[in-house]
Structure 1
Amino acid sequence: MKPVETRLVRLALKGNQRAFAEIVDLYKDKLYHLAYRMSGNRQEAEDVVQETFLRVYRSLDRYDMNQKFSTWIYRIATNLCIDRLRKRKAVYSLDAESTDREGLDGYAMLPSDDRTPESELLLSETQRIIHEAIATLPVKYKSVMILRYLQDLSLQEISDVLDMPVTTIKTRVHRGREFLRKKLEHKL
């Protein structure tokens, strides 16, 4: 764990509200992006972030200081997202149109020195197609792919977050990429 996080956790455990607020500031955007990419819905992402920090606050005394704090908080957020997706699965339709279109700009634009309105539109459309393909992934692949490629976590970190063997993570990354490749070869 980073020295800053260690200090903040220790202070928060002693009841220092400002220290907990700093923890929130450190992670709120990262967790929001994770939750939004998994759920595809701004309100749900905000709810997941709030619930994550509520659970962190309530169980901070059970946090193991030998474990990376980022792994612990990502595990909480990812599990909340997976739970929500499983509950929603019964009414989820792959053909349903997203009502949160403005939120599809969640991916950072690729750097380019010669951006034109046409290239921006094409890139935006490509990102939309990829976002829709990721949204169709089965939950077990979706969480791994988001953590790996959109949150840039290592295979070991994903293993720690999801509490699964690295070999399982590797398999799910491979199968998730294959699923996406098949989905995208017809659209791009």
Structure 2
Amino acid sequence: MKEMDIHPWLIRMSQGDEEAFQIVYQMTRDHAYRFIYYLVPNKQDVEDVMSEVYLELLRSANNYFPGQNFRAWFNGLIIRQVRNWKRKGWRRFRIWDRLKRVSSAESDRAAIEQFAALEDQLELLPIVSALPLHLKEVIVLRYYQDHSLEEIALLLQIPIGTVKSRHHRALKRLRHQYQDKESAKGANEYVY
């Protein structure tokens, strides 16, 4: 990754040139992968963090100035994305832990199951896809993009009460659909 070689490509990339992005990606991907691999505790997250790094690189290419050391600037970007990734994981862990400690009533158990379902994005994706668009937007912004309900209201330009109502309805639908899926899966296990 040579500093002099990358600067013109960064300028073109910041102007929307897709070929320039591909060249910058080719020049930096091995370094980024190795660095992320060492920083991320769960190795299955490396590819996801890589995606986050390159999305952030696209967003912040204008913040790189020619006098800066590109490698140091890029490493700082990688570190910030790894920290963000860890923070998201830690937040999920804390919520999960809090739900487990508080749970005693059946409704609390349902909340724990609901959260576990939201964490398992691969299994949940088809269920989320089946939601109407206005409910899907809230779920994706809340659980996949980590926006607060207030931020969602601003992004969608709707009242906070509407966001809360949609959030509640979406979670209720997801819970029912997930439970239906699990009970169907359980029923199939006993078929010979």
- For Structure 1 versus Structure 2, the TM-score category normalised by the shorter chain is 0.3 to 0.5
TM-score using structure 2 length = 0.42
Structure-1-length-normalised TM-score: 0.43
Larger Rg: 1 or 2? 2
Higher relative contact order, chain-length normalized (CA < 8 Å, sep 6+): 1
